Structure 1
Amino acid sequence: MTTRHRREGAPVPAHARDRSRSHVRRRLSAAALAASAVAALVQPAHAQATGTPPPHPDSALQKQLDDLVRTAGGPPGVIAVLRRDDRTAVYRAGVGDTETGRPPRATDHMRIASVAKAFSGAVALRLVDRGKLRLDDTIGELLPSQPTAWHQVTLRQLLNHTSGLPDFSTAPAFVEILQEDPRHHFDSRRLLDFVAGQDLNFPPGSRYEYSNSDNIAVALMAEAVTGERYERLLDKLVYRPLDLRRTSLPQGYRMPRPYLHGYDVTPPAPPEDISEVLSASGVWASGGIISTPNDLNAFIRAWSGGPGFLSRKTRGEQRTFLPGAASEPAGPGVNAGGLAIFRYQTRCGTVYGHTGNFPGYTQFAAGTADGKRSITFSINTQTSKTIKPELLAKVRAIQEDFVCALLRRH
């Protein structure tokens, strides 16, 4: 039985709950949230145009996508959107829905996983530009009800994951709730309560450690200085300025239609649709945003370097990188971490962006320093350094080839 037509909040049959719990136990972890028969359905893959006609499709790139969806344990579908100035090319292979066999589309909604952290970074840095926030503001100053041991942590350290905050998504009580009820509705603004009894993992600023707690605290800081809900700040500071009409931060488990279906792929079993297994309330500002390839591409152009989105001074702070600080999962090439943005140095040049993984989805979005070229690369199954690492290595190699195509002179 699918959940496609079930009203949100309606009882979930026992057998469906059991399947969901098995997936949570097998897949759900801190990394998964940072967010944690197909061959016959594969449609002929091709490049399609939006806007002005794109360059001729690169047959070598297309072959890589075709091969990827035929990989054992690989994604049922993949879609890559490359934009150079006002030219957009969409490459795709496989299916966005195994039931209908339709291909992925650039207008399909999808979970962007930890790329949502770039959105919370965008809210914070645009507030910095408006004088509402300072990068040296501390948790103690803006969120005094949080544990005293965390009070010296700064906004800068939250944004570059050097805060030392323990990750709420690894807390046994949090995981236990998800194992019992994957669609549990959390109070997103109380997620840090799951680790409120813990000290910092290390002195703030002393080392890099990716944590889902960081961006929850960033969103709470933004709310504290503005008196507005984070969702409203996203709309005012990000969605509307960039005309992102199909991007949202829901609280429930339902996906807006139409959507790119996300799958658990564990051969020899057929892919199982897990698009609506989890509630977004449990990841919120660290991984709950839903967008489309087109919208995400527009966002990453502005975030990576688009003119006018950040001041020159704030852009310089954003691009102060920590060598070896990789996104989760790692992106193509050599990674380094900045303020809610990562630098990906490939053999063909450098792009800036973010990655993410969530049950059913793995994302990569990046752009050039001037914001004139951008790429989003989305697959509809999950991979990370702990979940199918061989698949991740293959995906990263393909992503690097696509970055090379993006940076190629035409």
Structure 2
Amino acid sequence: MDDTTDTRYQIASVSKQFTAAAVLLLVQDRTLRLDDPVHRWIDDCPDEWHGITLHHLLTHTSGLGHWDDYPMIDLAQRVEPDALRETFHRLPLRFPPGQGWRYSSPGYVLLAQTVERAAGVPYRRFLADRVLVPLGLTRTFAGTPRGQTGLADGHDAAGEPLPTWELDVVGMGTGDVWSTAGDLLGWLDALQEGRLLDEPYRTLMLTEQARTGMGPEAGGYGFGVFVGQVRGQRWWHHDGHNAGFKAFVAYLPESRRRLVVLSNTEATDASVLAPLVV
């Protein structure tokens, strides 16, 4: 298949922007609260988790680890949601909730499960009904493809095909979205211009809520976005990496410049293209 601007790529952790927006829509609806404890929505949480709130999950300050902390999880293998949560339960928190920062994809899986519980519909359906269709993102969807066309195949650095990661359970909410360059440009504009989220939720999402400790240039983290400065200009951005796919998106509010990089090869280092945005 020849790639075009309509080709759909896995956008990996850029998907976290969609998850954060879904949570904030439910907060806006007064179905969820940012200070809701996670155990209100997620069953059988360990006692150690009782201090974790949705705000902690959104900002990676919950104390949960990232995938490399859970080597027993095969990211390409489907498991049932209950079994996946039980695996998350096995490891102690890396720090007390709110007392540190650790990027955590499992935390965003829990947020997507929370959206399902609170909305009473599958996460991918909520995303379609409340985010994708209203914004006209017709080439974007979440989860394992079901008869979808125009999909890019992921490759390793040598150009050999790679098996995709599981996106309906293990990757749900954290790396499950497929999209195109055109749709993502529309998505960036919709977020910045407040066409999806009302105030104060748009601003909360796109401004620093937690320091990452990754250095002054790295800035902080909002809800589903990194925020900071590049060459003296404010920006919000995120990168992503699934097996065979890399992605990077960024928005500079003052100049209204946008950057979307989508690749289906491990040979691409999307983040090095960030300086092209200015």
Normalised by the length of structure 2, the TM-score is 0.88
Q: Structure 2 matches for 1:55-204, cutoff 5 A?
A: 102=2, 104-167=3-66, 170-175=69-74, 182=76, 184-188=77-81, 190-204=83-97
- Please state how far the C-alpha of 1:118 moved relative to its aligned partner: 0.9
1:262 to 148, 154, 162: 154
- Please state how far the C-alpha of 1:307 moved relative to its aligned partner: 2.3
SS at match of 2:200: helix
Between the aligned partners of 1:144 and 1:250, the Cα distance in structure 2 is 23
- Please state how far the C-alpha of 1:348 moved relative to its aligned partner: 5.4
**Partner residue of 2:243?**
359
1:296 to 184, 205, 225: 184
279 and 397 in structure 1: CA distance in 2 versus 1, 3 angstrom threshold: closer
Greater C-alpha Rg: 1
* Superposition CA RMSD, Å: 2.6
CA contact (8 A) 1:355 1:363 kept: yes
Taking CA–CA contacts closer than 8 Å with sequence separation of 6 or more, which of the two structures ends up with the larger relative contact order?
2
Normalised by the length of structure 1, the TM-score is 0.61
Between the aligned partners of 2:84 and 2:228, the Cα distance in structure 1 is 31
Letter in 2 for 1:143: I
SS at match of 2:239: strand
- Please state how far the C-alpha of 1:168 moved relative to its aligned partner: 5.4
SS at match of 1:219: helix
CA contact (8 A) 2:142 2:177 kept: yes
SS at match of 1:312: coil
**Partner residue of 1:341?**
225
Residues 1:235 and 2:128 aligned together:
yes
Between the aligned partners of 2:143 and 2:26, the Cα distance in structure 1 is 22
299 and 146 in structure 1: CA distance in 2 versus 1, 3 angstrom threshold: same
Residues 1:316 and 2:203 aligned together:
yes
- Measured against aligned partners, the alpha-carbon deviations of 1:209-265 in whole angstroms (never above 9, x if no partner) come to 00111111111222222222211210122111111111112236x884323332211
Between the aligned partners of 1:398 and 1:357, the Cα distance in structure 2 is 15
2:165 to 262, 278, 300: 278
CA contact (8 A) 1:251 1:279 kept: yes
State the identity as a percent.
27
245 and 370 in structure 1: CA distance in 2 versus 1, 3 angstrom threshold: farther
CA contact (8 A) 1:356 1:362 kept: yes
Between the aligned partners of 2:68 and 2:92, the Cα distance in structure 1 is 16
Between the aligned partners of 2:123 and 2:155, the Cα distance in structure 1 is 29
- Please state how far the C-alpha of 1:335 moved relative to its aligned partner: 4.0
Structure 2 unmatched ranges of 5 or more: none
Letter in 2 for 1:316: T
**Partner residue of 1:398?**
273
237 and 174 in structure 1: CA distance in 2 versus 1, 3 angstrom threshold: same
> Aligned pairs, how many?
275
191 and 301 in structure 1: CA distance in 2 versus 1, 3 angstrom threshold: farther
SS at match of 1:217: helix
CA contact (8 A) 2:12 2:241 kept: yes
CA contact (8 A) 1:362 1:379 kept: yes
SS at match of 2:90: coil
SS at match of 2:262: strand
CA contact (8 A) 2:220 2:227 kept: yes
Between the aligned partners of 1:247 and 1:126, the Cα distance in structure 2 is 18
Between the aligned partners of 1:216 and 1:342, the Cα distance in structure 2 is 18
Structure 1 unmatched ranges of 5 or more: 1-96, 384-390, 405-410
CA contact (8 A) 1:114 1:286 kept: yes
CA contact (8 A) 2:229 2:235 kept: yes
**Partner residue of 1:407?**
none
Between the aligned partners of 2:45 and 2:255, the Cα distance in structure 1 is 37
